[in-house]
């Protein structure tokens, strides 16, 4: 978890101004036709869309925390299909092909099928969701995602009452995702799942952008899950399949080490990871000499989500 200095500017020196400048540079480059054709066509599906201007902010947004500088969120990523090193995926992921993105939605629904992401986005309202994000490795950040509630997507396909869980699967593209060519430690494709009530909770979103722009590839473009009260590994990237199921699906990290990564993965300062404490966290961008912050139960979203776990022993179901 050590950030190499040559790639990372002291975080306290990165300002919103920097982010603003960089967006201007991107916009200028787009206007000058300097970006790769694929990037241009994606941009036109994303931030050029008039609906991306003046995005309404979700009432669930955290308006008190300062945003983590975009540069850090883009360059310090966990994306094991590309690399086990957080600084490498930002470059490697640029090879990923994400045009004409299709999502297979199936299982316990009335309207299973293949859906184009663009068609889905056209039907739903995009908003900005400023969420705290806590990785199981005890670092955290604050990210302004752009997306829509997962509940809205599930409603489009008419879920059946037999649906008890929702399973998500990441794209397989071994020619661009080098680690998918080896069975190094994780089983591919990456799979995650939520209970149906967690999936339709208004805090749970599918993100298509961040910082007012389309999602960078290394952050899960073009479509990822974001569940802010759970450890980051639940927030699966590059989702190509969503299945509503009757029984609890096996998930990637839980299968890899069931004693270390539970199915629920709710942020909980009182349940340590077997190899480290979860009682505090390092907020990216706050500087190395800033004290660590206390980790909050459900990452501070307890008021919204605690009722879903009323009678659950959170130590057993971690």
Ligand X SMILES: Nc1nc2c(c(=O)[nH]1)N[C@H]1C(S)=C(S)[C@@H](COP(=O)(O)O)O[C@H]1N2
Q: Which of 42, 103, 105, 135 binds ligand X (CB under 6 A)?
A: 135
Q: Which of 11, 45, 71, 81 binds ligand X (CB under 6 A)?
A: 81
Q: Which of 52, 79, 264, 301 binds ligand X (CB under 6 A)?
A: 79
For residue 281, state whether it binds ligand X (rule: CB under 6 A).
no
Span interacting with ligand X, options 9-17, 44-52, 97-105, 232-240, rule CB under 6 A: 232-240
* Measured CA angle at 261 (ends 255, 267), to 5 deg: 150
CA dist 220 and 199 (Å) reads 18
Q: Please tell me whether residue 74 adopts helix, strand or coil conformation.
A: helix
Length of the chain in residues, anyone? 318
Decide: 133 and 61 in contact? Cβ < 8 Å.
no
Q: Which of residues 199-228 bind ligand X (CB under 6 A)?
A: 219-220
Cβ of residue 254: shortest distance to Mo ion, in angstroms?
Answer: 14
For residue 120, state whether it binds ligand X (rule: CB under 6 A).
no
Decide: 207 and 214 in contact? Cβ < 8 Å.
no
Q: Please tell me whether residue 315 adopts helix, strand or coil conformation.
A: coil
Closer to ligand X by CB, 108 or 217: give it: 217
Q: Which of 107, 149, 222, 232 binds ligand X (CB under 6 A)?
A: 232
For residue 285, state whether it binds ligand X (rule: CB under 6 A).
no
Per DSSP bridges, beta strands 139-149 and 127-134 are antiparallel
The contacts of residue 263 (CB under 8 Å, 6+ apart) are 193, 248, 251, 254, 317
For residue 295, state whether it binds ligand X (rule: CB under 6 A).
no
Q: Which residues bind Mo ion (CB under 5 A)?
A: 78, 135, 232-233
Q: Please tell me whether residue 144 adopts helix, strand or coil conformation.
A: strand
84: closest CA among 1, 143, 140, 9?
1
Cβ of residue 160: shortest distance to ligand X, in angstroms?
Answer: 27
Cβ of residue 137: shortest distance to Mo ion, in angstroms?
Answer: 6
Q: Which of residues 236-255 bind ligand X (CB under 6 A)?
A: 236-238
What is the largest distance, in Å, between two alpha-carbon atoms of the chain? 58
Q: Which of residues 25-54 bind ligand X (CB under 6 A)?
A: none
Q: Which residues bind ligand X (CB under 6 A)?
A: 77-81, 135, 170, 190, 219-220, 232-233, 235-238
């Amino acid at each position: 978890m050590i950030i190499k200095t040559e790639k990372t500017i002291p975080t306290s020196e990165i300002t919103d101004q920097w982010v603003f400048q960089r967006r201007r540079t991107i916009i200028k480059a787009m206007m000058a036709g300097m970006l790769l054709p694929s990037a241009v066509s994606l941009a036109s599906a994303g931030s050029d869309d008039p609906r991306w201007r003046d995005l309404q902010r979700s009432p669930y947004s955290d308006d008190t925390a300062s945003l983590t500088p975009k540069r850090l969120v883009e360059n310090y990523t966990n994306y094991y299909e590309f690399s086990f090193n957080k600084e490498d995926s930002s470059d490697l992921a640029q090879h990923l092909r994400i045009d004409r993105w299709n999502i297979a939605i199936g299982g316990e629904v009335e309207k299973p099928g293949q859906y184009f992401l663009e068609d889905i986005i056209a039907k739903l309202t995009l908003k900005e969701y400023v969420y705290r994000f806590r990785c199981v490795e005890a670092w955290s950040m604050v990210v302004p995602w752009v997306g829509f509630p997962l509940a809205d997507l599930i409603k489009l396909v008419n879920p059946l009452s037999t649906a008890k869980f929702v399973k998500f699967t990441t794209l397989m593209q071994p020619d661009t995702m080098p680690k998918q060519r080896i069975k190094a430690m994780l089983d591919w494709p990456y799979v995650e799942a939520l209970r149906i009530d967690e999936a339709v909770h208004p805090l749970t979103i599918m993100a298509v952008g961040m910082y007012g722009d389309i999602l960078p590839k290394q952050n899960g473009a073009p479509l990822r899950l974001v569940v802010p009260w759970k450890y980051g590994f639940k927030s699966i990237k590059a989702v190509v399949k969503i299945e509503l199921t009757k029984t609890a699906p096996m998930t990637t990290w839980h299968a890899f080490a069931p004693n270390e990564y539970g199915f629920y993965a709710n942020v909980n300062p009182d349940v340590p990871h077997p190899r480290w404490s979860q009682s505090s966290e390092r907020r990216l961008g706050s500087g190395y000499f800033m004290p660590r912050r206390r980790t909050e139960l459900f990452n501070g979203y307890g008021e919204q989500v605690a009722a879903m776990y009323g009678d659950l022993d959170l130590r057993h179901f971690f």
